[in-house]
Structure 1
Amino acid sequence: MATLVEDYIHGRIDIEGDFRDFIKNRTKHVNYKLVADHFKFFLTRFIPEVTIHSKKQDERIVQEHYDRGNDFFNWFLGPRMIYTSAFFTDVNQDLESAQDQKMSLVCDKLHLEKGESLLDIGCGWGTLALYAARERGADATGVTIAEQGAAYATQQIADAGYSDSARILRMDYRDIPRKKYNKISCLEMAEHVGVKYFRKFMKQINSMLEDDGHFYLQIAGLKAGVHPESLVWGLFMNKYIFSGADASMPLSFVVKNLEKAGFEIHSVENIGIHYSITIDRWYDNWMRNQSKVEAKYGQFWFRLWQVFLGWSVYIASQGNSTCFQILCNKNHETFDRHRWVGELGLGERITRENGMVNAVESSAVETGEVSM
């Protein structure tokens, strides 16, 4: 698989027909053996990045990925500009409403109330920070190291008229001012911190959270154990897409480090299949914008993202990669845990309730009780 991917993205070969069909049936055509290039990359790039994770290195990696151009990301993320998993209640739901639903779910899980302070670490293009200010009346602060993302987010907030209640700080997570927040969220950014600094980062978050506050962590994860395709896919992702994002780990790693950092875990929901559907929507957007991408960025970047998105859809759908929504509070004896009564599995409950509504509506249509 590795050799074929390299040849395809560099234009040495073409793949005829529907690329999605090729990826879906990839096991008929490829194997997942490690090749010489894997060992070279592992020794010369992966190991240094994992062991260093300095501010300078992390800023360089982020700039190489996220500061390529906002149009580049818009061509697959769509108008919401959210680079994290959406939450679907129906497999046919459109991406935008699923992303809106995810933001609502995040705020619900956090119990975000009007006037409360929210810190969103790794805020991307600021969509959640703006949503929290506009829809929940929160005072929201987003943090990102990406220059173009920060500028876009600040402008988006200003255009919506919420500059007084939402703001974007462009800085490394290690430089966030040490003040207290009622609620803290971190969506698919902690992977970039790396294994080396993961627990220290969780302790930093714990120190910035009010004793009565809530912390929401959404993090991409991997199936436990060693799996040939996952290994080859992971090396591809680290080489070309998310360099240095070595803290995508099995759930046990995340739970252990959260607890060691002083958190009590209230709930964990696996939304891996939601991530697969999200990436599938991104893939469709990307393919629709092929001519624009190739005209500005060239065939290499179009094909690279085509492989990244197309392959990741199936990696997530088969459970080799996944995504977790984790809700935490400080593990203090004085924390009032009565608030959690009836709050388990919010995502599952929303999905179940939506399914029941759809079933009732379908039954009503079939019996002639409503007209379409």
Structure 2
Amino acid sequence: MFVDSVSFTVSSGKGGQGCASFRREKFVVKGGPDGGDGGKGGDVYFLVDNNTDTLSSLKGRSVIKADNGRQGEGRTKTGKSAQPLIIVVPPGTQIIDDETGDILLDLLEEGQKELFLEGGKGGLGNVHFKNSRNQRPTYFQPGLPGQSRKIRLELKLIADVGLVGYPNVGKSTLISTTSNAAPEIANYEFTTLTPKLGVVEVGDYNSFVMADIPGIIDGASDGKGLGLEFLKHIERTKTLLFMIDIANYRTTIDQYNVLKEELKKFSTELSGRNYAIALTKTDAYYGEDVEADIKSFIKEIGLELSDSNEYGFDKSLPYYVQDLTYSRFDESKPFFVLPVSSVTHLNTNSIRFALYELIGQTKK
């Protein structure tokens, strides 16, 4: 089960109390205090693990607490310190103060381990309080209490390419065709209820991560549909692939404008990310002239048709791709506008190489 938000109270362990003890041994005339110190309470750490992709293991828990330190013992024996509590989370997890909304930690890198709450210090035993005026102290220190905090964990998936589009435009089909992901595919809207990640292989040694995000509709940034709940998952994606259904009753330009507007409302930074456009379901087109519609859309967004074919695009339908031979990448324009069909595999192979090139431009 995919869970991307959980709330609970987390507490570090209390320190163990010191010990009041006195040395008594056979044939030893003078004894004295020998109470040991208490052990330290358990610390709380967060650890990022790439093998974890959900917060489901933390769902339903209201309190997570580290163990307390053990009490000190006689013969100046220190109590055992508690083991640290390590909470394993997937990369992209934010630790947020549930009361103020402040972001306390942003966990991104595999193996990243952050101390969140420190355990209480153990109390001193009575051996520390012996002096010339008090040879027989009977008191000791209690352990210091641990720390406690009410937090919320928010998971924002990390991917190289995020698929953005209306429901049922072919996002799940494309990611299943080009990657190792196996999302549910059906002919109705909102088939995808949770984000899916897939690794797309490009040649023998290169790959990138693609994220299938649940459909965005008009008004998603205001909470309509599932958009508001899952728009956060494309915040961390380096590049966006706009999926526009050319066989939909909505016009291609209307779909494009709504997607751009919803992204801008949700995050100005997100709306400025590098992007490309895939015109999907060309096999299901029911209009009079699919070629003319594609040309019209490319012209409407201020672009011109291309002849470049370095990525192996199928030339049976028109397309646009930025020519980087003699010029720099223009971030204000889509890297490509490409007709695709996951059913007939039109351009599904070559789009992998074009997206990999787009990711490379983003890193520069």
- Give the structure with higher Rg (CA): 2
Greater fraction of residues in strand: 2
Greater fraction of residues in helix: 1
TM-score > 0.5 by shorter chain: no
Question: What TM-score comes out, normalization by structure 1 length?
Answer: 0.26
Question: What TM-score comes out, normalization by structure 2 length?
Answer: 0.26
